[in-house]
Amino acid sequence: MIEQLVSLLNACERDLNKPIALHEPCFSGNEYLYVKQCIDEQMVSSIGSFVTRFEQKLSQLTQAKYAIATVNGTAALHTCLLIAGVTPNSEVLTSPLSFVATSNCISYCHAFPNFVDIDETLNIDPDRLKKYLDKIGHYRNGVLTNKRSNRPIKALIVTHIFGHPADMDRLQEVCQAFDLTLLEDAAQGLGSTYKGKPVGHLGLAGAVSFNGNKIVTTGGGGAILTNHKDVAERAKHLTTTGKISHPWQYRHDCIAYNYRMPNLNAALGLAQLERFPAILKMKRKLAEFYLTNFKTEEAAFLTEPRYAHSNYWLNTLMLNSTMTHQRNKIIEQLAAQHIICRPAWDLHHTLPMYEHCERDQLNIAESLSPRIINLPSSAELIHHVEQSFIATRSAEIE
């Protein structure tokens, strides 16, 4: 397996002293021009035309009625939780398999994560979620409450892991049955669709990320997506320090946050969004290359669920259970060949700040997580591997 990966990737025309990165940004459009315009106009903070243009373009591409740009995806998700009414000493259901920011945002609200198991897509299992709520939930004064902790359960955060959408219809059914607000952590999901619908605004609201390692980057940045006008207005107010609009007064009506995206970042992001269809096409083509040309009995390539169209943000190998103990060794050996791979994040309930939190039995998450290896997934990598692969095949034929 290692030899096969090395053969596929090391044949690329590249500087052999420079590693093949896990995920590099792709800058080949108007990035320099737009950023220079920001500097020339001296409009680099959160007030500027590029913020508005970025939000409009993002809304168009995601088919969300409203997009509110933020400093990062974590700020966007925190704001979503506040708008959903997550209060201190309440609980939010979520997956243990996610970037730590998902649980951290719940903690920012002085609430508690409550972890639910996943299925083979690596997303929350709707059946397990329902059974878990049937077991722990009861209604007190009309509010769903965890009978074990006596805390109200306010919402469900669904994370689309590595860009593969969760089963949103079935999860929404569970949320409706238990009167829970559904939020999406779509930090990894920009460009992915569920039954033809872009993810990120299939619940009340969702958060996307434009970190440096994302499919589109603003350097650091995020956004809130929603189809609800009142949610969008509240999100913009909360992320703009609760400032009441006025030509010269600084009056604020609530405790809020300085979470708006700077114009400088939005300029970079707008140039990225202009090329987004092409970037997405390259990402899916790279996934197809891995799926077609990498075959082993020791691991399987994680593919999009039947109901979804994935952006393949990170291409993922799932080791066979007998290979679990080999994961770290495989990653180390690939790193020695200048090929950067990574494991999944540590499961949240194993982290010291969350090990006390409520949770269901997490057998699937605990079984699958140690078997995950993320492969190099930069969009432009497809051009290098295709060229080298075609050249190798041509030489073999000759």
Q: In terms of domains, do 223 and 139 share one?
A: yes
Backbone angles phi, psi at 172, to 5 degrees: -65, -35
Q: In terms of domains, do 233 and 311 share one?
A: no
CATH of the domain at 243: 3.40.640.10
Average pLDDT over residues 312-319: 97
Q: According to the model, what pLDDT value does residue 397 have?
A: 45
Q: According to the model, what pLDDT value does residue 9 have?
A: 81
Q: In terms of domains, do 22 and 38 share one?
A: no
pLDDT > 90? residue 16: no
- Domain C-terminal end among 239, 274, 309: 274
* CB contact at 8 A, 102 and 236: no
Return the bridge partners of 374, or none.
316, 342
Tell me if residue 20 falls in helix, strand or coil. Answer: strand
Q: In terms of domains, do 306 and 165 share one?
A: no
CA neighbor of 220 nearest in space, from 323, 340, 335, 75? 75
Q: In terms of domains, do 218 and 289 share one?
A: no
pLDDT > 70? residue 394: no
Q: In terms of domains, do 8 and 36 share one?
A: no
CA neighbor of 99 nearest in space, from 347, 395, 370, 339? 347
**What's the token pair of residue 296?**
């082993």
- Domain C-terminal end among 222, 252, 274: 274
Report how many domains make up the chain. 2
- Interval 354-369: pLDDT, tens: 999 999 999 999 999 9
Helix residue ranges, H only, the chain: 2-10, 31-41, 49-62, 73-83, 101-108, 126-136, 168-178, 229-238, 263-274, 276-293, 327-336, 363-368, 381-397
Q: In terms of domains, do 214 and 293 share one?
A: no
Q: For residue 262, is it left (φ>0), alpha (ψ between -120 and 50) or beta?
A: beta
Backbone angles phi, psi at 166, to 5 degrees: -80, 170
Q: According to the model, what pLDDT value does residue 189 have?
A: 98
Q: In terms of domains, do 267 and 282 share one?
A: no
User: Domain span at residue 353?
Assistant: 2-26+276-397
Q: In terms of domains, do 68 and 202 share one?
A: yes
- Interval 141-172: pLDDT, tens: 999 999 999 999 999 999 999 999 999 999 99
- Domain C-terminal end among 217, 250, 274: 274
Summary mean pLDDT of the chain = 94
Q: In terms of domains, do 215 and 361 share one?
A: no
pLDDT > 60? residue 393: no
